[in-house]
Structure 1
Amino acid sequence: MAEYNQKFAVAPMIDWTDRHCRCFHRRLTERALLYTEMVVADAAIHGDRSRLLGFDESEHPVALQLGGSDPQKLAQAAEIGAEFGYDEINLNVGCPSDRVQSGTFGACLMKTPEIVGACVAAMKERVSVPVTVKCRIGVDEQDTQTALDALAEASWSAGADALWVHARKAWLQGLSPKENREIPPLDYDRVYRLKAAHPDRFIGINGGVATLEDAAAHLAHVDGVMMGRAAYQNPVVLAGVDALLAGSTPQKVDFEGLIDAMAAYAGRHIAAGGRLAHVTRHMIGLFHGYDGARRYRQILSREATRAGAGPEVLRAAFAAVDLSTQRDAA
């Protein structure tokens, strides 16, 4: 089994954690593991691989999350991902959207741990990088005690290197994907009990992690912590991750250097045929807690979407922020 020690990760989020988001996040933290959006195995095999799977070398460590339930297709997709250079391949056993339900994968797989095991085993046969699973604690009327145990045992028996657990049930009927991220109650103790019962297995926790203080509290019970929406909506929180993991004092964020780096990145993207908004849409929440943040957001929201917009728009937005007025940015 490959060594696995990723203590902090930014969660995979559909429509959010694309390559531009990850490049931005990487400039805030060197050590966090970054995840792609979920890529369906069929798309990885038959789709535009450069568009779906391409990433910047600066993103490492970066993990590819795959969706599917066919072991051979997932194995092929995992091999493609490994050839692209991903540091980890993750199987989605947690997404409750209608799209994944119609394909009988994602959170639906909580009901069929034997299929999860077969998928993990097939993927492990084809790649040398870690293969991990991200799941829920259960779905619908399942008993979370038995459901999570069964999924974990099937994953580990097949060779999974880590299990990341979103500490909520998913309700496949009656709740939207957004509601499934908010309405089912969090049960961190269930994940803690799983870790206590399996001290030699890597178990990470996800769900409702809003601050680095939350992350530190979880790391007293489990091996890793995954932050999703909080990292996206208030990305400056990621600037404290490296210090958290090193047990040191966070350094002041070099916003000038960050904007310079992202302006240069955006310029390269535009020169390759992209648009400024592809990059800046992920940066809207950067200056939460500063005077001028509202004006910064307005400029990016209005000007970056216009045809021909260039990196100068990002610099103009940054100029509206008063960096001496930080209140609750972290």
Structure 2
Amino acid sequence: MYYLKYRPQTIKELDSKSVRDQLAAVLQADPMPHAFLFSGPKGTGKTSTARIIAKVLNGEDNAQAITRGYSPDVIEIDAASHRKIDDIRGLIAELKFAPIVSPYKIYIIDEVHMLTKEAFNALLKSLEEPPPSTIFILATTEIEKLPKTIVSRCIQIIFSKAKTADLISMLDRIDSAEKLKLSKEAKEFIAQKADGSFRDAAKTLEMAVIQGDTSLGGMKQYLGISTSEQDLLTLIDKKDLKKSLEWIEAAAGSGNDFASLIESLMARLHQQLLKKNNIAVELETEYNFTIKEISRLISLLQKAYGQLKYSPIEALPLEVAIVEYVEGGVSI
């Protein structure tokens, strides 16, 4: 799997500049923090970064064992399946033992928000006064579920959704190593579809490779997206309702994924909105929408997007949104 094969192994290889900058500051601290908290959406590199920190702290001699997952001094725990107080008590009982071959014994607790209240209470004392050679790295996608007493005892590293440039940086690494010769447009498309997730971007690319077509058109076909969604915006821009509905019906007949289609339309409109407000962006096509029209159309598309899972006809929410926009409809 590309996401695992090309997982960053050093701080320098981390594709997120924000995370690199945060770590550079924290790892210069003296004394070293005894508890880290990584928070952010799935697929943004929290677990990879935890292992990188373990390698930095435990030295080059132990790096290979940590990378391969057999270091006796780096213990990874999935709190989703080890969430009870007895699991944490077992962990605490091990803290009295010194590291076997490394300077530090490092506990990486993933999905830490899944711990029970009793388990958190048991962990709290160890976070407050851990042995000098013990470091905790907690990772979560839902920081709001953590007790404030836990959060306050950790140095927090925030993993935001990956920026387009960061995603493309990762895709460039994979492209070069695999000799795929991806087009700039294909990389930008994958980055857009990944919704800020390094993992999802790598998976999309890998599936395109498996399908045997890494062209932009091939990826769109694999994902069930029309290669000409910009044509629909042209029709909407002209307020040609009949042809717009015909386009949508043709897309439905071709098996298009309407969630992906609406996401793509909103992404294009977002770029148009930025351009209209004199923000420098690259546009494939520039339309005649006013700022007010773009804003209203985005609102209608957001409404349609939310209705998709309730609609017995997948194309219907989008069709209604276009009718409301062209005909004046009910304002939102």
- TM-score for the superposition, normalised by structure 2: 0.36
Larger radius of gyration: 2
Higher strand residue share: 1
- TM-score for the superposition, normalised by structure 1: 0.36
